[in-house]
């Protein structure tokens, strides 16, 4: 009888106890790995680490690398290059150590200082929004990860993602900024749009805007993911210039800060509706005229 060996269990360290790092380490713990150290600066990050990684000591970044076989660098994008350089310059990086960051923007080039010190570089970006609570670990189930790694480490990178419950998606180094821009448009801007819609509904007298928007937005998102531009509905897609003009009058009165966003999204929607034949040319002229008038105010 052949007995299959279990994959090597790793000592996992986290540098940057924001919303992402502790959740990933907790998921790896559930897969049998061993979180051994975490670093965090703010009181909130330290509290988050204690809640998601109970019993794991809070130490300085260099001490995290000293104890870990796999280091997760989970800091903001703009802080990542200096962090990697600083750790490499101080000699904290060990040859053969797996060093992974979770930035969507960067691939593995940002880890070059660690690579020169002998580290094995990985870019593992979870395509998920994080809350900093235990629910994040559950949401990793089925979550896609944007993975970039040297060819010889691709299998190891994908295995770690699968162990966290995720699904690896290979992203070329050169495509990382475009990939991340797409996610920012889809997720970050969505939050802004929904928050604006809730504010406007409250202004219109709706006591529970979330309850009203939930079914509508859920259906719209599902339709868009299934059908793309064919899911477009509403006055812009129909070419109802009068309705759009009425919207703009109300927004100028009650929420002038939303007008620019409305006009920009309406123009983008009109362009897509025109391109796929949903918006007829004879209706588009008046619609685009109303939007142009607003843009020239």
- CATH number for the domain formed by residue range(s) 11-171: 3.40.50.720
Q: What is the pLDDT of residue 5?
A: 40
Q: Is the confidence at residue 194, as pLDDT, over 90?
A: yes
Tokens of 65: 């690398």
CA distance 46 to 40: 6
pLDDT in tens, 204-221: 999 999 999 999 999 999
pLDDT of amino acid 2: 38
- Kindly indicate the confidence band of residue 26, based on its pLDDT and cuts at 50, 70 and 90: very high
pLDDT in tens, 221-259: 999 999 999 999 999 999 999 999 999 999 999 999 999
Instruction: Give the pLDDT score at 55.
Output: 94
Residue ranges covered by each domain of the chain: 11-171, 178-295
pLDDT in the model for residue 297: 61
- Strand partners of residue 12: 35, 70
Token readout for 249 is 């009058």
Q: How confident is the model at residue 41 (pLDDT cuts 50, 70, 90)?
A: confident
Residue 89 in 3-state DSSP?
helix
Nearest to 72 by CA among 139, 117, 31, 19: 19
Chain centroid to CA 82: 22
Provide the whole-model pTM. Answer: 0.88
Q: Does domain 178-295 have CATH number 1.20.120?
A: no
CA distance 143 to 258: 32
């Amino acid at each position: 009888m052949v007995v299959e060996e279990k994959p090597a269990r790793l000592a996992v360290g986290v540098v940057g106890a924001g919303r992402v790092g502790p959740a990933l380490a907790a998921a790896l713990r559930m897969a049998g790995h061993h979180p051994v150290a975490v670093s965090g600066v703010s009181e909130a990050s330290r509290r988050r680490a204690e809640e998601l990684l109970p019993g794991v000591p809070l130490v300085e970044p260099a001490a995290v690398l000293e104890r870990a076989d796999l280091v997760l660098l989970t800091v903001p994008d703009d802080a990542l290059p200096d962090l990697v350089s600083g750790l490499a310059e101080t000699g904290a990086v060990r040859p053969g150590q797996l060093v992974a960051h979770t930035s969507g923007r960067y691939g593995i080039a940002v880890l070059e200082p660690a690579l020169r010190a002998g580290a094995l570089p990985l870019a593992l970006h979870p395509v998920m929004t994080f809350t900093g609570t235990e629910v994040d670990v559950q949401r990793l189930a089925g979550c896609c990860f944007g993975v970039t790694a040297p060819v010889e480490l691709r299998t190891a990178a994908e295995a770690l993602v699968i162990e966290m419950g995720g699904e690896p998606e290979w992203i070329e180094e050169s495509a990382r900024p475009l990939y991340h821009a797409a996610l920012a448009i889809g997720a970050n801007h969505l939050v802004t749009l929904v928050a604006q819609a809730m504010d406007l509904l409250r202004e219109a007298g709706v006591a529970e805007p979330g309850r009203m928007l939930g079914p509508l937005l859920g259906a719209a998102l599902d339709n868009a993911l299934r059908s793309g531009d064919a899911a477009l509905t509403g006055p812009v897609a129909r070419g109802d210039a009068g309705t759009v003009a009425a919207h703009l009058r109300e927004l100028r009165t009650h929420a002038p800060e939303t007008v620019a966003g409305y006009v920009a999204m309406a123009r983008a929607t009109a362009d897509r509706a025109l391109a796929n034949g949903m918006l007829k040319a004879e209706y588009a002229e008046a619609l685009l005229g109303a939007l142009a008038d607003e843009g020239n105010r």
